[in-house]
Amino acid sequence: MSAFDQIAQKHHWTLKGEPTPLSGGFMHKMFKVDTDQGTYAIKLLNPFIMQRDTAMDNFMQAEQLETMLENCGIPILPALSVNGRKMQETDGQYYYIFEYFPGKALKTDEVTEFHCRQMGTALARIHKTDRKCESQSNCEMHIDWLFYLARLKESNGQLYSLLKDTLPMIKSSQQNGNRARKTLPPIAAVCHNDMDCKNVLWAGEDYRIIDLECLSYSNPFMELFELALCWAGYEHSRIDFSLFQAFLRGYRDAGGEMPQDWETIYDCNNSRLEWLEYNIKRALGIDCGADEKEIGIQQTEETIKQIRFYDSMKNDILKHCMI
């Protein structure tokens, strides 16, 4: 019996046709499921992520924050509760169920200043939901890049060369980020932590923010900066600064607090290094399934390209933060 047959049996559904894979994130798998009781989106949670010691606590905190955002009327797509629980499980497979929203994620060339202003406004509303005093100085990054370099040398010559050539830049970014985090204002707010283009579904001018499993308390200045870059095209190694500034203005005009020291925020914005490490692990087959290896290779190449681009654009980025 397939996972979907088991899920349907548990919820007393009759499936109508085969589940359809939906595009989206790189960690979990999402499907559209038609049943006799309606159409749903089901997210099958990555079993390797669920094995982490902190996974369940992180998901539970995210669920609490999701409910907070829902109660504030922020346009999110929350997981449905069944028997008082959002996270469901059958035969060891954890999953979430959502009402199906007939929207689509925008491609980079479809993003306009309107979309960026809307996202800046939404982010300000999320950040204002709850704030607290919390230092980020203990969030230093200590990734052993030489370990991964040695492993790649044995298994993937192309990724080895890419990592080796970029290693001085990567180490510098890690060191600068650790130093900059010690000077960040001690502010933490509710943050989505992954609200880029793929995680917002649009139906005309209406939208829903999805993938809320990463909700947590984080530094709002860092999320603002990273998302303004993402919506301006950074993930494709280009930046439309009219979109970048539209996002910042949307945030500011909705009452979001703006950073005073943009260069510190620039240096702190190195979470791509953690994403790089995660995908190198996938490429090496560490803590993941065999079906994730190719995604890991692809994402490692793409992330290294983004890291190089980000380093080359520092002066232009900082200049356009002044609005």
Tell which residue, 200, 214, 209, 139, has the closest CA to residue 174.
139
Residue type, 236: H
Count of domains for the chain: 2
**Are 137 and 70 within one domain?**
no
pLDDT at 24 over 90: no
Say which CATH number the domain at 19 has: 3.30.200.20
| One domain for residues 156 and 303 | yes
Cα 11 from Cα 95, distance rounded (Å): 13
Range of the domain at 299: 108-319
* Domain co-membership, 184 together with 303: yes
Residue 225 has pLDDT above 70, yes or no: yes
Whole-number percent of the chain with pLDDT over 70: 98
Has residue 134 got a pLDDT over 90?
no
Helix/strand/coil for 131: strand
Q: Please check whether residues 312 and 191 belong to one and the same domain.
A: yes
* pTM of full prediction above 0.85: yes
At 182-211, the pLDDT tens digits run 999 899 999 999 999 999 999 999 999 999
The confidence score (pLDDT) of residue 18 equals 94
Domain with residue 211: its CATH number is 3.90.1200.10
* The pair of three-digit structure tokens given for residue 144, joined into one six-digit string: 């052993």
Select from 111, 26, 24, 50 the least CA-distant residue to 303: 26
What's the pLDDT score for residue 136? 62
pLDDT for residue 146: 98
